Structure 1
Amino acid sequence: MAADANTEILDSGDLEKPHVTRFLHTSDWQLGMTRHFLSEGAQERYSQARFDAIRTMGRIAKKEHCQFIVVAGDTFESNQVDRKTVARTLEALKDVSVPVYILPGNHDPLDAASVYHSSVFIDRKPSHVHVIEDTTTLNLGDGIEIVGAPWMSKRPSANPIVGTLESLTPASGVVRICVAHGAVDQFTPDKDSALVMKVTELERAIGEGKVQFVALGDRHSLTKVGGDYIWYSGTPESTDFTEMHSGFANLVEIADGEISTKEVQVGQWHFVEHQRELNTAEDVESLRKLLEDVSDKERSVIRLNLLGSLTLSLHALLQDHLASAADVFGACDVRDENVIVIPDDTDFTDLGFSGFADAAVQRLRSTIEEDGDDSATARDALMLLLRLGRGV
Structure 2
Amino acid sequence: MKFIHTADWQLGKPFGRFPAEVSAALSEARLEAIDRLAVVASDRGAAHIVVAGDVFDNVDPGDRVVMQALSRMERVNVTWWLMPGNHDHARPGGLWSRVRRLAPTRVRIIDRPEAVEMDEGAWLLPAPLEHRKTVLDPTAAMVDMATPPGAVRIGIAHGSITEFGASGESSNLIPTDRARSAGLDYLALGDWHGFLTVGDRTAYSGTPEVDRFGRDEPGACIAADVRLGDVPAFERVETGRYRWLTRRWEVTTADDMDREVASLRSEARLSNVLLDLKLTGVASLSDRVAITSALEDRVAHELRHLDLDASGLTARPTLEDIARIDVQGALAGATAALEARAGGGGLDASVAAAALERLYVEAMRHEAEAAR
Which of residues 69, 82, 87 is equivalent to 1:102? 82
Contact 1:185 1:191 in 2 (8 A): no
Deviation at 1:372, TM superposition (A): 4.6
Matches within 5 A, 1:217-366: 217-227=190-200, 229-243=201-215, 245-258=217-230, 259-280=232-253, 282-291=255-264, 293=266, 295-323=268-296, 324-355=298-329, 357-366=331-340
> Is residue 363 of structure 2 the alignment partner of residue 385 of structure 1?
no
Distance 2:261 2:286 in 1: 15
1:14 corresponds in structure 2 to none
Matches within 5 A, 1:55-66: 55-66=35-46
Distance 2:213 2:10 in 1: 16
Gaps of 5+ in 2: none
Q: Deviations over 1:265-312 (max 9, x none)?
A: 211111112222233455344334345555422221112232222222
Which of residues 102, 108, 117 is equivalent to 1:130? 108
Deviation at 1:64, TM superposition (A): 2.3
Q: One-letter code of the match for 1:283?
A: D
Deviation at 1:90, TM superposition (A): 1.4
> Is residue 24 of structure 2 the alignment partner of residue 44 of structure 1?
yes
Contact 1:182 1:195 in 2 (8 A): yes
> Is residue 164 of structure 2 the alignment partner of residue 187 of structure 1?
yes
> Is residue 70 of structure 2 the alignment partner of residue 90 of structure 1?
yes
Aligned length: 364
- TM-score after normalising by structure 2: 0.88
Matches within 5 A, 1:206-225: 206=183, 211-225=184-198
Q: Deviations over 1:167-219 (max 9, x none)?
A: 2346512112111110102433447756311112332223xxxx211111111
Distance 1:34 1:276 in 2: 30
Distance 2:117 2:361 in 1: 70
Which of residues 24, 28, 36 is equivalent to 2:4? 24
Distance 1:184 1:87 in 2: 33
After superposition, the Cα gap between the structure-2 partners of 1:275 and 1:125, relative to the gap in structure 1 and judged at 3 Å, is same
2:125 corresponds in structure 1 to 147
> Is residue 49 of structure 2 the alignment partner of residue 75 of structure 1?
no
Gaps of 5+ in 1: 1-20
Instruction: Look up the SS of the partner of 2:226 in the other structure.
Output: strand
After superposition, the Cα gap between the structure-2 partners of 1:288 and 1:389, relative to the gap in structure 1 and judged at 3 Å, is farther
Distance 1:34 1:43 in 2: 7
1:8 corresponds in structure 2 to none
Contact 1:239 1:271 in 2 (8 A): yes
Q: One-letter code of the match for 2:207?
A: T
Contact 1:90 1:126 in 2 (8 A): yes
Distance 1:292 1:37 in 2: 25
Contact 1:301 1:330 in 2 (8 A): yes
Distance 2:114 2:177 in 1: 23
Distance 1:155 1:250 in 2: 26
Q: Deviations over 1:218-272 (max 9, x none)?
A: 1111221111x21111101112233365511111112353321122221111111
After superposition, the Cα gap between the structure-2 partners of 1:198 and 1:240, relative to the gap in structure 1 and judged at 3 Å, is same
Contact 1:221 1:246 in 2 (8 A): no
1:161 corresponds in structure 2 to 139
Q: Deviations over 1:123-157 (max 9, x none)?
A: 53212111112111112341121110110011223
The worse-fitting range, judged by mean Cα deviation, of 287-296 and 268-277 is 287-296
Distance 2:217 2:260 in 1: 25
**RMSD between aligned residues:** 2.5
Contact 1:234 1:246 in 2 (8 A): no
